[in-house]
Amino acid sequence: MHFNAIGIPAFILCVFNFSSIYADSWSVTQSVTTSNPLLLNQHNATGSTIQSVNLINLDQSSGVVSHAEQTLNAGGNNVSLIMLGSENSYQSVNYLAASEVVSATQNATNINEAVLRQIGGSNNVQAINVTKATGGLGVQISNLTQTVSANTLTLDYQGTGSGNIQAGNFIEADSISTTPGAVTQNFVVTTLNYTQSGTNNLQAGNVVIKSSASSTGSVTQNFTAGNVNANFSEIDPLTGSIKAANYYAERP
């Protein structure tokens, strides 16, 4: 696994609290507050590179998150995530990966303008909040709330790549709790802009990717936007790409 360095031209207050009850079961609190714009740049990354502000990355065959809190308070500043030519990589503000997530919250709030931009590259995931739980048995995500709140959010893909995902909130799992409301995504913006090229790419406020048609779970996806500059819930017949408010299906 490779990790790109993060350059952040901002004053940041970070709070990290880790505890483990038993082997590879973790309770983690991560909190970041910025007083200036936040910028993450990822260039030509390959091989499952992960770049994030708050990051929990446990063994996806045995790692258990008993409780996690990941928070970004942007302080009314801008947040920019830029990927250039990356392949099979991740970029986010809050990133959580484990075999099982018992309880977790991911919050990114008080953002003025958030820009997620990819230029070229394929099979990348770029999202404010990312949670992955694909390796465990039984229910992989029992309780999870993801929240993004911003004045303006722009999802911008440029180039000829394919299989990329850009989202406010992103979940990937095979089995999610069937209890209504236990897994919730909240996406709240005043203005949402979509710009897209390439093939078989996905842009959405809230995204849940299930690995197969037999995957189970109940998810609540809340999407609120005053202005949307795109024809969303649209599949481009020429490229196979999708723009949506909420997306819950297998990967395009």
**Over the stretch 105-134, which tens digit does the pLDDT of each residue have?**
999 999 999 999 999 999 999 999 999 998
Greater confidence, 1 or 175? 175
For the chain, the structural domain boundaries read: 12-249
Q: Regarding beta strands 104-119 and 144-158, do their DSSP bridges make them parallel or antiparallel, or are they unpaired?
A: parallel
pLDDT on residue 22: 43
Residues 6+ apart with CB under 8 A from 216: 175, 176, 178
Cα–Cα distance, 62 to 55 (Å, whole number) = 17
- What's residue 210's pLDDT? 84
What integer is the mean pLDDT of 128-150? 92
Mean pLDDT for the chain overall: 87
Rounded Cα gap, residues 69 and 151, in angstroms: 23
Residues 189 and 116: their CA atoms lie apart, in Å, by 14
Q: Which residues pair with 215 in a beta bridge?
A: none
- pTM more than 0.85: yes
* DSSP secondary structure letter of residue 4: -
